[in-house]
Amino acid sequence: MKLKLLIFTCTSLITTTICAQKIENIKLEDKLHKPYEFSSIDSYRDTIYLMSETCTSFFKIDKDSGKEFQEISFANPDRSYDIEAYCNYENGFFFADETDNSIYHVSNKSNLLLPHKLLRIESEQNRNRDFGIEGLCLNPEKNILYVIKEFGKNKTSILYCYTILQKENSVSLKLKKRVDISLGNMYRYTDIAFDSQKNSLYLLRTKFKNYSIDVISLNDQSGLPDNNNYKYKNFISYNISSKINSYFEEGYSTNMEGITIDETGKIYLVSDNYTGRDRTCESDEQSDRKTLLLKLTL
């Protein structure tokens, strides 16, 4: 399958914003342009994982061709979920429900994939979705789960760093560090990714028609950020707005919601293509906008 390619560069001597990217549009099959609302993404070896926000299904995608080769569903018959964040973990995965601000673990050891609630993060306005959990990512070497909240009081996002504890067949989380990040007006974080090669966290920051990737360096020993407070303007930031906005004219959703980094340092971004119509997880109806899956090299 052919990929569209663009290379462009830009620099700024006034801010820490840098533009130097090679971007490829990985064209997905028609099935994946249904209104699945992909708000999270993960990668492992040759596979991209796209998690639907409301359909309690995730899809395994070939990262080069964009072809879907497996759909996996999980469900708790007692409730539905509003899944904004997802990452793989050993024989299972974590996900976050934005509505109840909670983190869940699902084990693959049984055929029935039932979520187990690990914890609920309190906030000043739990019922306001804008304050919910937006991203998860894993540092496998340090066994740390990083959790990013969209934004909260005084336009401050919160990064939580948890140690993953295992005991027999159970998994739990222990908070190691909380980091507050001051954001500008109307900005929000929509996802987070761990770069094992650079020992850094990449945060996807967005507002209307503005898309940037902020980079937080981690301590080599602890795997944690060195400071407790940051301002987003102090980060090295990669602005990717220009190219992403151009895809809107081609019928794609440019509401970029997910970011992940593979073992080679390639970055993948996915858009949430929900456009306000009734959700149709079980039908073949296409969304008004196509899902956009990009591969990016900084």
Residue 278: what pLDDT?
Answer: 61
- Are the C-beta atoms of residues 1 and 27 closer than 8 Å to each other? yes
Helix/strand/coil for 233: helix
The per-residue pLDDT string of the chain (298 residues; one tens digit each, 9 = 90 and over) reads 333 344 344 544 334 555 556 899 999 998 899 888 899 999 998 999 999 987 888 899 999 889 988 988 876 656 778 899 999 998 889 999 988 889 999 887 666 677 888 988 865 554 455 568 999 999 999 999 999 998 766 788 999 999 999 887 789 999 999 999 999 778 999 999 999 999 999 999 999 899 999 999 999 999 999 999 999 999 999 999 988 999 999 999 999 999 999 999 999 999 998 766 665 566 677 788 999 999 998 8
Residue 7: what pLDDT?
Answer: 38
Kindly state the tokens that stand for 86.
């997802």
DSSP code per residue over 26-51: -PPPGGGGSS--EEEEEEETTEEEEE
Residue 8: what pLDDT?
Answer: 40
Residue 275: what pLDDT?
Answer: 66
Q: Which domains does the chain have, with CATH numbers?
A: 4-297 (2.120.10)
Residue 9: what pLDDT?
Answer: 42
Nearest CA-CA partner of 45 in 30, 63, 25, 28: 63
Q: What is the pTM of this model?
A: 0.90
Helix/strand/coil for 68: strand
* CA distances (Å), origin 75, targets 58, 59, 100, 141, 183: 12, 15, 16, 30, 35
Residue 123: what pLDDT?
Answer: 59
Q: What whole-number distance in Å separates Cα of residue 268 and Cα of residue 79?
A: 31
Residue 77: what pLDDT?
Answer: 56
Using CB atoms within 10 Å of the CB of residue 21, give its burial: 0 to 12 exposed, 13 to 18 middle, 19+ buried: buried
